[in-house]
Structure formats: structure tokens, C-alpha cells
Amino acid sequence: MRSELQAIQADFDQAIDQIQTLVDLDALEVRFLGRKQGVVTELLKQLKTLPKDEVGPVGALANEVKTHIADGLAARRRTLDNNEIAIDVTLPGLARPVGHLHLMTTAIRQISDVFARIGFERVRYPEVEWDYYAFEALNMPADHVARDEWETFFIDRQPIDKKLGQRVLTPHTSSGQIRKMEEGILPIKMINISKCYRRQIDVSHVPMFHQFEGLCIDRGVNITHLKGTIDYFVQNFFGPERTTRLRPYHFQFTEPSFEIDINCGICLGKGCRMCKEGWLELGGAGMVHPNVLKAGGIDASVYSGFAFGWGVERTYLMKSGVNIDDLRALYKNDLGFLQQF
Ligand SMILES: [Zn+2]
């Protein structure tokens, strides 16, 4: 048993020199002194089997070995502890990269802020919507050809209500118009900014994009209010020297309907190489169609209103002057691209 004890001590001396981490040190302690199967502990259990006159001297030796191991472990632990906290405080720190909001989040905040100043309240409605709110109530009955322009995503579930029809992913923010009217609180001044979904993808289209939709309904609202509101937005968002013009157009849910153009930021409307004619197209607008007011439960002989709905991506990129030749880059989560802004 004496020789076994000596062998254990020799083993330990060899092993302790190899230890480089506190984790390994803990493991070594368990291996030698562990209460359950530590090699020293196991050997001590056999003390009782020795002849009586041997127990004393062997026990003393065993304790010596045990103390030697415990001291060795403690010394090694001090060295390793010191190494692990020996940090050179004079080294320059590692700066963590600072992120920023995504371009479109910034755009949405700026747009909401401008409209908030003239009393337009930001609203939110479901992105999985009934056909009724997305089309039917907006003066686009089933089978109407105007629906084809929207490249709609349909949800693969049977309709549960004849009037509401199928479920769709909101193809435009206009679906919020009827929901707002149905709340029955007039006048209405809302700005609905939301994701829209269409089955389209190419350099200038993504299947998920954003629109902002303004709706104002009150007694005596006319086209000059529409023009004034849009000019206010344009001058606050793009700059005081910018102005707009209305160009007649057709939409099912407005009458009359317009496309809104903004004067070119470079030539201010005179015409230059960038814009050719001096004007750039922003998006659609118009006076709310009486059928739409009716669908929203509003008396069209008393109330009138205007609405406009534009793409956030397109509007923001026009402001920033950033020329992105592929709109899909906005949503690729490529930091190399996003960090440029
Ligand atoms: Zn120009």
C-alpha cells in the first residue's frame, strides 16, 4: 500500500504540471480527491483491511500524500487565477459596431411625423384581410378587371362568410379605409402605413413592400384640401422648394382620380437630363368614391373626402437621391449595402 501511495503522488506531480485551465484543474481535483471515486479516497477505504500495527504508519503516509495533493492543487489554482485576470488595460478597446434603423423604418417614422403635425392619426389594420375590405367595398366587385392589377396572394382556406369572401394578404393599404369608416367616428384623418403583398418580383418590385395611405373625410372636403395636404407633405419631406401637380387618372375607389407628380429636385420643374420633363411621378390620389363612402356607412350627400396611397420605398428613395438599381437590395439583409446609409 505504501508503494501505491507513492505511485499516486508521482502521478499527481506529473499531471499537475500539464494543467493550463481552471476547468482542467477542477477535473484533476475530482480525479484524486473526489469524495466518490477519487483515487486517494478509494485507497483510504482499504486502510481497515491492513494488520493493526500497519494502520498507524500507512495512515500517516496517506495523509501526507493527501496534503501534498491538496497543496499542489491550491498553488496551481492561484497561478491560473492570476493569469486569467492579467488583462492589459492599456490595450485599445474593441469597439462594438453601432447599428442603425433600417431605411424603411426611418422612412415610416419620418412620414408619420409629417402627417401627425397636421392631425393625421397613424392607424393599423390586419395584413391578412378579407376580400371584401381589399376589393369589394372599394368599388371593385368580384370579376372586375381592375382587380387584375393587384397580383393578389390568396389564403388557401374556404371562405366562411359570403359577404367577406376569401382571405387575402393586403394588396394595398386602401383596405384600411372601410375599416376606419366602419368605426363610425367622424371626421376621419388617418394615415395607415403597412406592409403590402403582391405576387411580383423584379428590379423595381418586391413581393412585400410598404404603402402609406391617407384618408380625410369631413363635411365640405374638396380637391383643394387634397392638394394642400399633399403639398404640405412634399415640402416637409422633400424640401420647401418642391411642389406637386395633379394629373387626371383612373382608380375604382376614387372619383375624380389623379396621379401626383412632384417637380424634379434638380431643375425644379424646368426640365433637365435627369427628369426630361421637369416632373416625377409620386403616386395615386383622389376624392373618395361615393360607393366607397356608402360601403363604409357614411352618407355621401353630407360627407366627402380624399385619399392617397403611395409606396414608402419609392417615396423614400426619391427623397434620399439614392439610386438603387435593384429594389430587392433593401431586403437582402446585406450589411455591406445597409451600412452605406
Ligand atoms: Zn429635372
- Looking at residue 142, its pLDDT comes to 84
For 207, the enclosing helix (H) or strand (E) is none
Q: How far is the CA of 263 from the centre of ligand 1 (A)?
A: 7
Q: Is 159 exposed, middle or buried (0-12, 13-18, 19+ CB in 10 A)?
A: middle
Q: How far is the CA of 264 from the centre of ligand 1 (A)?
A: 4
Per-residue pLDDT of the chain (341 residues; tens, 9 = 90+): 888 888 999 999 998 888 888 888 889 899 888 888 888 888 888 888 888 888 888 888 888 899 999 999 998 888 888 776 666 777 888 888 888 999 999 999 999 999 999 999 999 999 999 999 999 999 998 888 878 777 899 999 888 898 999 999 999 999 999 999 999 999 999 999 999 999 988 888 899 999 999 999 999 999 999 999 999 999 999 999 999 999 999 999 999 999 999 998 888 889 888 788 899 888 999 999 999 999 999 999 999 999 999 999 988 888 866 677 788 888 998 888 888 88
- For residue range 269-308, what is the model confidence (pLDDT) as tens digits? 898 887 888 998 889 999 999 999 999 999 999 999 999 9
Q: How far is the CA of 227 from the centre of ligand 1 (A)?
A: 21
**Helix 22-33 / helix 2-18 crossing angle, nearest 10 deg:** 170
Q: How far is the CA of 202 from the centre of ligand 1 (A)?
A: 26
Give 89's contacts (C-beta < 8 A, 6+ positions apart): none
Q: How far is the CA of 242 from the centre of ligand 1 (A)?
A: 12
| CA–CA separation, 44 and 194 (whole Å) | 75
Q: How far is the CA of 336 from the centre of ligand 1 (A)?
A: 30
CB atoms near residue 56 (< 10 Å)? 10
Q: How far is the CA of 223 from the centre of ligand 1 (A)?
A: 26
- Looking at residue 198, its pLDDT comes to 93
- For residue range 145-166, what is the model confidence (pLDDT) as tens digits? 878 777 899 999 888 898 999 9
**Do 28 and 15 form a contact (C-beta atoms < 8 A)?**
yes
pTM above 0.85, yes or no: no
Q: How far is the CA of 131 from the centre of ligand 1 (A)?
A: 41
**Do 217 and 248 form a contact (C-beta atoms < 8 A)?**
no
Q: How far is the CA of 273 from the centre of ligand 1 (A)?
A: 6
- Looking at residue 86, its pLDDT comes to 62
